[in-house]
Structure 1
Amino acid sequence: MSSRRAVTLAVASVLVLVLALVGSLMPVPYVALMPGPTSNTLGENDKGEELIKIEGRQVYPDAGHLNFTTVTYRGGPGSRLDLFTALRGWLDGDVAIVPEETIFPRKESQKQVDEENTRQMRDSQETAQAAALRELKIPISTRVVVDAVQKGRPADGRLRPGDELVAVDGTRVERVGAATELMGKRKVGDQVTVTVRRSGAEQRVTLTTAASDDGRPVVGIVLSDQYKFPFKVDISVGDVGGPSAGLMFSLAIVDKLTPGSLTGGKFIAGTGTITAEGQVGPIGGIQQKMIAARRAGATVFLTPADNCPDAAKARPDGLRLVRADTLNGAIQALNAINTGKGQVPTCG
């Protein structure tokens, strides 16, 4: 009888070892999202330089924090998670295990995703400056520029990165939204004539629209709004990508350009994309960003309205969630927290 038990235990042990080996070697198409570092937009970056440096305009100090938050990830097409790591992540409340295509869309390499994240960060910095200066009623001018040309699309070889888009079918455009709306009125196979300025000279280029992966008419260009500001604003965040720090950049610029303190000396953190008009948009990884903020010492977290339902369910103890619909609304909310006067919008 004892020998049977010994054999059974031996077989079971071997099976466990085999399963462990298989689990450690079996890649799965998931990515682990984890709390990342946070950075104070009013302070210094990793190099000891001002994270946001403004030249040519009076600036005012603030001893508080306006931290943007990040999410780090493990996994991806080139280094997939093994099964056991994914299972551990599912059991860890600080980690989110999401399908790989959430971070790496199909047909896009990790390099392409990284390049897109870098572009989004650059654009978010520009847009954050525009939103802040508009909030402060400081005049700025805008132009639409070709940021990238997609290979194999109608614009390939006809337009170039850096071309300024002046008009679509004779209608002048000053914002990406206006250009996109005009092009979107065409059907697949229709012709569209764009006027671009290159090396100081305008030229007209007629393109035939093609179908995108989802069937929309496209010519294969990525456009961005470029702004001319009356003074210099440099934002240095290091190796961080994506658009989700836009709100915090805007708040820091407003804080630096106005007397007094938006933070009241408090540790404020938050997240959210920003448009040039000051609209705050949703982001991914809200749970991990809240955890990162609380660990860093934040007591108030500015939360995009669309993220509020998920944020309210996972709010860390000691972290006050403040709903941010617009840049102006976020400023008013912070003023209400500091003065104790007025209503502070919450996430429930």
Structure 2
Amino acid sequence: MSETGHQPPPTSAVPGSAIADRGAEPPIQLTAWSQNARTARRRRRAMTVAGAVAGALTLTAVALPTPYIVESPGPTFNTIGEFDGQPVITVDGAPTYPTEGNLDLTTVYVDGPPTGWTTFLDVMTSWVDPAQSLIPKELLYPSGTTSEQVNAENSEAMTTSQNWAVAAALENLGIEYRQRLFVSDFTAESLAEDVLQPQDQLVSANGGEVTGLEGLKNQLNQSGGAPVELGIVRDGEELSVDVPVFEGPEGDWLMGVFLDSDFEFPVEVSITLENVGGPSAGMMFALGIIDEMTPGAMAGGEHIAGTGTIDPDGTVGEIGGIVQKVTGASASEADYFLAPEGNCAELIGHVPDDIEVYAVGTLDDARSVVEAVGSGATPTAPTCG
């Protein structure tokens, strides 16, 4: 075939083909453009894949669980009102009286391990929300703690707080009850471990019947540092032992014994409240019981909220999540809040403008504030925040 009749190879030929050697400009330009286009497409695909991978990694990082616990304001419950159509507090075996207003217990939502999880997004949100607190898990729970253990402990603490609330309310009202005390453990300073055993029931001290913790404390203090003769029941057998005491940091005489207790009450008090755990509702339960068992509406129709643990002797103890609880009370439109005096410092700069917070150290203090507010008077208790 003559050279003039020769057909050029296809334009997809690579450089070095006959077309390239012949210097045919359009095919060379077309071939170069094709290569650049393919390179650009590859780069776009690579950028698209890289972007998708980066996005997936970001989403994964945001969604992965973190070792932090986030506390935020929870709902409130009126202890002299109803829950799911039933009275929160029911008293049988004693006269009860109509109530009016709110004596709200406050709660905190707790999100995070070991009962759940928090994500990096949750953590970021808590940083910018003053009503939320961020706490490393290790500060609240020992390593290895399970969700089942936490739930069981919260349930047990709630049951104990309810019993102690009944005891504190009856003590406040001057109604006698019986408290049985049992040895559970010993402090490091205790000298009693040689004569007492866990599960021993304490029935007398220096000849006087032990009917409660306060009576036992009185007997120990009257000892003046001499060993205390305790009557105990061990495995059904009545025994008498002499227990050494030592002086505590506040001048009280102590045995260095941790005690469990159960109660025999002259009235039956039922508390209906689900999905709330822990001991911090004790003071508000006690106030609700007192209001139910005293003539007149103690709260006087006012909206009062609060928090605090309670001991049978009426001591109000500190709690966690105080800022979240005051914030939750404000959101529920409470006008007054009762806070343990030991939590006051945490509230500086964190009290909403529409709520007044009073510090209380005992159930007597708390009742005085409620009665003052209910009667339209100004409470004499110090304020927080």
Q: Which residue in the other structure is 1:140 paired with?
A: 177
Give the Å deviation of 1:94: 2.7
Q: Which residue in the other structure is 1:37 paired with?
A: 75
Go from structure 1 to structure 2 and tell me whether the alpha carbon gap of 1:93 and 1:343 turns closer, same or farther (over 3 Å shift): closer
SS of the equivalent of 2:359 reads strand
| Kept in 1: contact 2:184–2:258 (CA 8 A) | yes
Matches within 5 A, 1:328-343: 328-341=364-377, 343=379
Deviates more, 1:31-40 or 1:194-203: 194-203
> Could you tell me how far apart the structure 2 residues matched to 1:250 and 1:62 are?
14
Give the Å deviation of 1:89: 2.2
Residue ranges of structure 2 left out of the alignment (5+ in a row)? 1-39, 186-192, 221-229, 242-256
> Could you tell me how far apart the structure 2 residues matched to 1:341 and 1:83 are?
48
TM-score normalized by structure 2?
0.69
Give the Å deviation of 1:21: 2.2
Q: Is 1:304 aligned with 2:340? A: yes
Alpha-carbon displacement from aligned partner over 1:148-176 (angstroms, at most 9, x marks no partner):
9xxxxx9xxx966xx745479x9986556
Q: Is 1:103 aligned with 2:140? A: yes
| Kept in 2: contact 1:66–1:267 (CA 8 A) | yes
Structure 1 counterpart of 2:58, from 19, 22, 37: 19
TM-score normalized by structure 1?
0.76
Matches within 5 A, 1:164-175: 164-166=201-203, 175=212
Alpha-carbon displacement from aligned partner over 1:299-348 (angstroms, at most 9, x marks no partner):
11111111112224211231111111211111112222233445432115
Q: Which residue in the other structure is 1:118 paired with?
A: 155
> Could you tell me how far apart the structure 2 residues matched to 1:84 and 1:124 are?
35
Q: Which residue in the other structure is 1:293 paired with?
A: 329
Q: Residue type matched to 1:110 in 2?
A: S
Alpha-carbon displacement from aligned partner over 1:286-306 (angstroms, at most 9, x marks no partner):
111112212222111111111
What percent of counterpart residues are identical? Answer: 37
| Kept in 2: contact 1:337–1:344 (CA 8 A) | no
Q: Which residue in the other structure is 2:358 paired with?
A: 322
Computing the radius of gyration over CA atoms, which structure comes out larger, 1 or 2? 2
> Could you tell me how far apart the structure 1 residues matched to 2:374 and 2:82 are?
24
> Could you tell me how far apart the structure 2 residues matched to 1:143 and 1:195 are?
13
Q: Residue type matched to 2:128 in 1?
A: L
Q: Which residue in the other structure is 1:73 paired with?
A: 110
| Kept in 1: contact 2:304–2:370 (CA 8 A) | no
Go from structure 1 to structure 2 and tell me whether the alpha carbon gap of 1:21 and 1:335 turns closer, same or farther (over 3 Å shift): same
| Kept in 2: contact 1:34–1:71 (CA 8 A) | yes
Q: Which residue in the other structure is 2:244 paired with?
A: none
| Kept in 2: contact 1:23–1:83 (CA 8 A) | yes
Number of aligned residues = 315
Structure 2 counterpart of 1:88, from 125, 131, 144: 125
| Kept in 1: contact 2:184–2:198 (CA 8 A) | no
| Kept in 2: contact 1:290–1:301 (CA 8 A) | yes
SS of the equivalent of 2:99 reads coil
Q: Which residue in the other structure is 2:223 paired with?
A: none
SS of the equivalent of 1:133 reads helix
RMSD: 3.8
Give the Å deviation of 1:34: 1.7
Go from structure 1 to structure 2 and tell me whether the alpha carbon gap of 1:30 and 1:196 turns closer, same or farther (over 3 Å shift): farther
Matches within 5 A, 1:222-233: 223-233=259-269
